[in-house]
Amino acid sequence: MVSQSSGSDVNSNRSWDPLCSTCGRVTTVAKSWTNDNPGRRFYKCVVHGFCNWADEHSPYGWQKVSLLEAIDEIKQLKESLRAMNEQMVSGSNTDLLKTEDEEKKKLEISVMAATEREKMLRQFILLSWGGFIVVIGLILAMGK
């Protein structure tokens, strides 16, 4: 009865995007970073903006996917940072060092932003599941 929690349908091979319900234009998938829906994907019309949630059918799946994406992003950025640091240690050209330093700063900012998003998602998922468990607890308590 209760759906299995494998989450295998999160990345269903949906190869088409729905058309805008207002103007019929092709929509693109964009990501929401609001407090209510951090990382949730939605279909976006160039004219009308938000059309529909892309992850409507898996209320917890989209958060998980976004969190995994954020973690991947952080990993990649950290790899780049490390590679750059190693280059700087072995590099001797000062002009090169200057541009690399700027690049590094940019990367550090990106890592910070991605880490913030990851934190936000973690909190959101905890809150969602916390709320869910409280509701189940109340239902069980009332049923006694």
Q: Quick one: which of 66, 63, 37, 67 has its CA closest to 52?
A: 37
Q: How far from 99 is each of 32, 34, 76, 104, CA to CA, in Å?
A: 33, 34, 20, 9
- Sheet hosting strand 38-45, strand order edge to edge: 28-33, 38-45, 49-53
Verify binding: residue 23, Zn ion, rule CB under 5 A: yes
Any contact of residue 27 with Zn ion (CB under 5 A)?
A: no
Q: With binding defined as CB under 5 A, does residue 1 bind Zn ion?
A: no
Q: Does 48 bind Zn ion (CB under 5 A)?
A: yes
| 77 near Zn ion, judged by CB under 5 A | no
Contacts with Zn ion by CB under 5 A: the residue count is 7
45 binds Zn ion (CB under 5 A): yes
Whichever of 25 and 105 has its CB closer to Zn ion, that residue is 25
